């Protein structure tokens, strides 16, 4: 009897394992192994043509002496600090508005419209926004000129270049996060909401004391995804500014690309990539602690 | 009935096998060429159709199949490098940056395959880089000089008969043009997102006009010298004189603005006059280059055709070299230059000249044309220099700091040791 029980469990485990094996193998090959390979290459000199040569900590020492690294890290952190809060709050507000006040075909239409940027090609979007930002004749400046204000060179001035690129990212990703929030809000029990109404809670109180706490796991996920995505920003910078003017929009991912593919210095680029990984993990750790602490309270 | 069907099926299978066997007898060559057809005319032949047509007789003559792939310019350099590193890269390839390819011995040495007559036919053969065995590895093509274009109408409106080309006089003339016409006198693409694109038109020509040499005695890039300083100071003086504004760091449409009659002088590739400015109704003329402290100077690039070294293992090397010499022959290149994109002839047996005035001008200045040379981490060096010049245009760096910072960063972070 005991034997049959174990063999059934084992059989079920084997069947279960067989189901996840293809995904596991693919994820291991394309997601996990590159991380370990990058860590290995970061200790080597590797140009993609000859076998990697072990150089110990040389790449990391050289990286620590890179005079533009601080500048680039600051840009990247600024970019994260602009994009993540805005896209998170904006997507939450839009989702709450549609779920609360537009539960009809107009709401569906608005949801679709806000989602369109998500499916648009990033490079094509960057090209369109590049044109819209132009100081002479760009759509945004034409609008600004209507009020008698002078044109703004959005991508050509240090104070505006990075926020302008970040704005495109926010426009691009808000729809995606909005859909996730919307699904979360729709899952909030109507009984709880109704009970709150009976108790005399205002819509803002219901949102603040019921909806938001219930959406906390979703917010945690959205913030995490947002931070990771923003730290890896490359395409927008590549297409819109090339890191300029000067180094105003140069980001870590763009630097990694330059070292790896322009200079064929994979080892050095991997050292920078590993550095980025460590930074993201640290931020993730702090974020997890923050959310846990809030949970405990 | 069943027997008839079975016999028919067997015949079909047999014929298929025969055709496969015949196909296997044929060698296959893969050729990578970037897009060169930029004309929007309805009758303009596409790159793919052009090259497929070019290779039709070659395929018949050599009993082979040639697969031409047209690759976009976006990251062409990175694309062909990674393809040549991999086992399934193209046999014959159009090459832009060759430093890494030569250093990593990815290209086939051509000397053993070519006769002296074939080598003599290539005008820039002596400038081609060599592998460790001293064999030339590319067939360099003259990519054409970057040339100056003047809007004659704007010049006339400003009361000038011709554009002075000496640096100081040029600045004064630009001020006059802006004052009298209210239009921009001079624009450059300092907003290009790649250093290479910006500098080939907006930095290297002035560096050559200032007497600068790109590589030092050790064969390494070094621009932190007198010529470099004169060049960067000249660029800053354009800003100080109000010819450039701070907006120059986002400028990437000088050609379009010249075609719209909004600019008096630009530097662009030698096709723009006939293909863009004449159709736009601009009354324009060529200026070879400005004239700096060391004289005239224009840059040219030497893109090239090369054969993948892995063709030896594939048994395709001789056929690939044959294809290489076929497409670089005068007859094919004359067709290419007349139907797809005009460039100066780069083999002695080519004869097509599209614009006699331009040909006469560049021939008269043949001593003033300089090649932008290849060196380690060139693209990142050019990105760094572009970023530092942009910093200068924004008031954050002085000319000497531009040079010092660029070279320091290159020597400590970019250069391969």
Which range among B11-25, B252-266, B345-359 shows the weakest confidence by mean pLDDT?
A: B11-25
| For A238, nearest residue in chain B (alpha carbons) | B193
Q: How near does any CA of chain B get to the CA of A247, in Å?
A: 6
Give the mean model confidence (pLDDT) for residues B219-235.
Answer: 95
Sign of the C-alpha dihedral, residues B270, B271, B274, B276?
A: negative
Q: Which domains are assigned to chain A?
A: 71-296 (1.10.3720.10)
Count of beta carbons in the 10 Å neighbourhood of residue A200: 7
Give the mean model confidence (pLDDT) for residues B116-136.
Answer: 90
Q: What is the pLDDT of residues B51-73, one digit of tens each?
A: 999 999 999 999 999 999 999 88
pLDDT band at B6 (very low <50, low <70, confident <90, very high): low
- Tell whether A135 lies on the interface with B, counting CB pairs under 8 A: yes
Sign of the C-alpha dihedral, residues B333, B338, B341, B343?
A: positive
Q: In this model, does residue B13 exceed pLDDT 70?
A: no
- Tell whether A164 lies on the interface with B, counting CB pairs under 8 A: no
Give the mean model confidence (pLDDT) for residues B85-89.
Answer: 86
* Residues of chain B positioned with their CB less than 8 A from the CB of A246: 249, 387-388, 390-391, 394, 396
- Tell whether B260 lies on the interface with A, counting CB pairs under 8 A: no
Q: In this model, does residue B144 exceed pLDDT 80?
A: no
Contact (CB<8Å) A263/B380: yes
User: Mean pLDDT score of chain B, rounded to an integer?
Assistant: 89
Burial class (CB in 10 A: 0-12, 13-18, 19+), B3: exposed
User: Could you write out the three-class secondary structure of A31-65?
Assistant: HHHHHHHHHHHCCEECCCCCCCEECCCHHHHHHHC
Share of chain B above pLDDT 90, in %: 59
Pick from B242, B254, B33, B304: nearest CA to B146: B254
Strand, helix or coil at A289?
A: helix
Q: Which one of A246, A255, A257, A269 makes the best mutation probe of the B interface by having the most chain B beta carbons within 10 Å?
A: A246
Contact (CB<8Å) A153/B247: yes
- Buried b or exposed e, range A32-52, using 16+ CB within 10 angstroms: eeeeeebeebbbbbbbbeeeb
Eight-class DSSP state of B246: G
Q: How near does any CA of chain A get to the CA of B394, in Å?
A: 8
List, in order, residues 6 or more apart from B55 with CB less than 8 Å away.
Answer: B31, B66, B68, B323
Contact (CB<8Å) B380/A67: no
Q: What is the pLDDT of residues B333-352, one digit of tens each?
A: 999 988 888 888 888 898 88
pLDDT band at B171 (very low <50, low <70, confident <90, very high): very high
- Tell whether A10 lies on the interface with B, counting CB pairs under 8 A: no
- Tell whether A160 lies on the interface with B, counting CB pairs under 8 A: no
Q: How near does any CA of chain A get to the CA of B343, in Å?
A: 27
Q: In this model, does residue B21 exceed pLDDT 60?
A: no
Give the mean model confidence (pLDDT) for residues B302-327.
Answer: 93
Count of beta carbons in the 10 Å neighbourhood of residue A108: 12
> Chunked in runs of 10, what are the mean pLDDT values of chain A (297 residues)?
67 90 93 94 90 94 92 95 96 92 83 91 92 89 92 90 96 95 89 88 88 91 92 92 91 93 90 93 86 66
pLDDT at position B10, please?
Answer: 66
Q: Please say whether the beta carbons of B355 and B344 come within 8 A.
A: no
Contact residues, B window 185-204, toward A, CB-based 8 Å cutoff: 191-195
Q: In this model, does residue B18 exceed pLDDT 60?
A: no
- Buried b or exposed e, range B74-110, using 16+ CB within 10 angstroms: ebbbbbbbebbbeeebbbbbbbbbbbbbbbbebbbbb
Helix orientation angle between B226-240 and B378-393, rounded to the nearest 10 degrees? 40
Strand, helix or coil at B40?
A: coil
pLDDT at position B5, please?
Answer: 67
- Tell whether A247 lies on the interface with B, counting CB pairs under 8 A: yes
Q: Report the distance separating Cα B256 and Cα B178, nearest Å.
A: 18
Burial class (CB in 10 A: 0-12, 13-18, 19+), A240: buried
Burial class (CB in 10 A: 0-12, 13-18, 19+), B320: buried
- Tell whether A16 lies on the interface with B, counting CB pairs under 8 A: no
Q: Would you say the CATH fold of B146-301+372-414 matches that of B26-140+302-361?
A: yes
Contact (CB<8Å) B391/A238: no
- Tell whether B46 lies on the interface with A, counting CB pairs under 8 A: no
Domain segments of chain B: what residues? 26-140+302-361, 146-301+372-414
Angle of CA points B111, B114, B119, to nearest 5°:
85
How big is chain B by its Cα radius of gyration, in Å? 25
* Residues of chain A positioned with their CB less than 8 A from the CB of B395: none
Which range among A1-15, A118-132, B180-194, B201-215 shows the weakest confidence by mean pLDDT?
A: A1-15
Contact (CB<8Å) B412/A65: yes
B146-301+372-414 topology per CATH: D-Maltodextrin-Binding Protein; domain 2 (3.40.190)
**Span B26-140+302-361: which CATH code?**
3.40.190.10
Q: Please say whether the beta carbons of A185 and A207 come within 8 A.
A: no
How big is chain A by its Cα radius of gyration, in Å? 24
pLDDT at position B357, please?
Answer: 86
List, in sequence order, the alpha helices (H) in A102-157. 105-119, 122-132, 139-146
Q: In this model, does residue B3 exceed pLDDT 80?
A: no
CA distances from A109 to A88, A97, A106, A176, A177 (A): 21, 13, 5, 15, 17
Q: In this model, does residue B203 exceed pLDDT 90?
A: yes
Q: Please say whether the beta carbons of B282 and B258 come within 8 A.
A: yes
pLDDT band at B302 (very low <50, low <70, confident <90, very high): confident
Give A99's Cβ-side CA count (13 Å radius). Answer: 21
Q: How near does any CA of chain A get to the CA of B134, in Å?
A: 21
Residue B20 token pair: 């496969």
Share of chain B above pLDDT 70, in %: 94
Residue of B376, B396, B413 lying closest to A62 (CB–CB): B413
Pick from B5, B8, B27: nearest CA to B16: B8
pLDDT at position B400, please?
Answer: 97
* Residues of chain B positioned with their CB less than 8 A from the CB of A242: 192-195, 383, 386
Burial class (CB in 10 A: 0-12, 13-18, 19+), B72: exposed
- Tell whether B18 lies on the interface with A, counting CB pairs under 8 A: no
For the CA atoms of B30, B36, B42, B46, what is the dihedral angle to 10 degrees?
Answer: 0
Residue of B100, B250, B376 lying closest to A155 (CB–CB): B250
Give the mean model confidence (pLDDT) for residues B348-370.
Answer: 86
């Amino acid at each position: 009897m005991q034997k049959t029980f174990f063999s059934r469990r084992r059989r079920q485990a084997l069947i279960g394992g067989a189901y996840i094996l293809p995904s596991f193998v693919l994820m291991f090959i394309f997601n996990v192994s590159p991380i370990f390979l990058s860590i290995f290459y970061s200790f080597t000199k590797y140009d993609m043509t000859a076998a990697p040569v072990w150089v110990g900590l040389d790449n990391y020492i050289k990286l620590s002496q890179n005079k533009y690294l601080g500048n680039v890290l600051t840009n990247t952190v600024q970019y994260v600090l602009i994009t993540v809060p805005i896209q998170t709050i904006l997507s939450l507000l839009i989702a709450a508005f549609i779920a609360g006040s537009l539960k009809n075909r107009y709401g569906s239409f608005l949801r679709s419209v806000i989602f369109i940027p998500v499916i648009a090609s990033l490079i094509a979007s960057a090209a369109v926004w590049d044109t819209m930002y132009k100081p002479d004749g760009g759509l945004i400046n034409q609008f600004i000129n209507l009020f008698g204000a002078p044109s703004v060179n959005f991508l050509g001035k240090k104070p505006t270049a990075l926020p302008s690129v970040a704005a495109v990212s926010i426009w691009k990703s808000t729809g995606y996060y909005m859909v996730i929030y919307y699904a979360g809000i729709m899952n909030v029990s109507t009984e709880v909401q109704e009970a709150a109404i009976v108790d005399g809670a205002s819509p803002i109180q219901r949102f603040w004391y019921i909806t938001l706490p219930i959406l906390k796991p979703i917010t945690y996920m959205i913030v995490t995804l947002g931070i990771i995505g923003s730290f890896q920003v490359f395409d927008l910078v590549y297409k819109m500014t090339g890191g300029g003017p000067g180094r105003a929009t140069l980001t870590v991912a763009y630097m990694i690309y330059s070292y790896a593919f322009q200079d064929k210095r994979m080892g050095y680029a991997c050292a920078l990539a590993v550095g980025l990984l460590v930074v993201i993990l640290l931020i993730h750790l702090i974020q997890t602690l923050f959310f846990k602490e809030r949970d405990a309270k | 009935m069943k027997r008839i069907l079975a016999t028919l099926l067997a015949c079909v299978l047999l014929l298929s096998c025969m055709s496969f066997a015949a196909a296997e007898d044929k060698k296959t060559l893969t050729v990578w060429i970037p897009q060169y057809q930029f004309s929007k005319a309805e009758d303009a032949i596409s790159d793919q159709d052009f090259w497929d047509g070019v290779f039709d007789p070659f395929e018949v003559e050599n009993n082979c199949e040639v697969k031409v792939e047209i690759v976009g310019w976006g990251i062409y350099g990175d694309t062909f490098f990674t393809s040549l590193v991999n086992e399934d890269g193209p046999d014959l390839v159009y090459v832009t940056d060759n430093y890494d390819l030569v250093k990593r011995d990815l290209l086939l040495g051509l000397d053993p395959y070519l006769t002296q007559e074939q080598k003599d036919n290539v005008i820039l053969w002596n400038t081609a880089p060599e592998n460790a065995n001293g064999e030339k590895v590319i067939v360099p093509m003259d990519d054409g000089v970057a040339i100056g274009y003047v809007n004659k109408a704007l010049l006339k409106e400003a009361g000038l008969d011709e554009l002075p080309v000496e640096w100081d006089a040029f600045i004064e003339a630009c001020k006059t043009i802006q004052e009298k016409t209210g239009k921009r006198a001079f624009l450059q693409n300092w907003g290009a997102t790649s250093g290479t694109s910006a500098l080939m038109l907006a930095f290297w020509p002035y560096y050559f006009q200032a007497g600068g040499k790109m590589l030092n005695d050790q064969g390494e890039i070094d621009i932190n010298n007198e010529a470099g300083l004169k060049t960067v100071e000249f660029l800053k003086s354009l800003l100080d004189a109000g010819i450039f504004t701070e907006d120059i760091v986002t400028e990437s449409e000088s050609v379009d603005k010249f075609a719209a009659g909004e600019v008096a002088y630009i530097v662009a590739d030698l096709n723009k006059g006939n293909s863009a400015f004449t159709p736009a109704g601009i009354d324009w003329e060529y200026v070879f280059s400005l004239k700096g402290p060391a004289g005239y100077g224009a840059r040219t690039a030497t893109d090239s055709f090369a054969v993948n070294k892995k063709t030896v293992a594939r048994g395709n090397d001789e056929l690939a070299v044959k294809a290489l010499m076929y497409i670089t022959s005068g007859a094919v290149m004359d067709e290419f230059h007349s139907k797809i994109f005009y460039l100066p002839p780069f083999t002695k047996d080519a004869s097509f000249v599209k614009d006699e005035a331009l040909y006469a001008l560049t021939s008269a200045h043949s001593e003033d044309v300089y090649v932008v040379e290849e060196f380690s981490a060139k693209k990142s060096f050019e990105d760094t220099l572009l970023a530092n010049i942009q910093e200068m245009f924004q008031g954050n760096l002085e000319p000497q700091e531009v040079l010092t910072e660029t070279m320091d960063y290159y020597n400590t972070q970019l250069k391969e040791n």
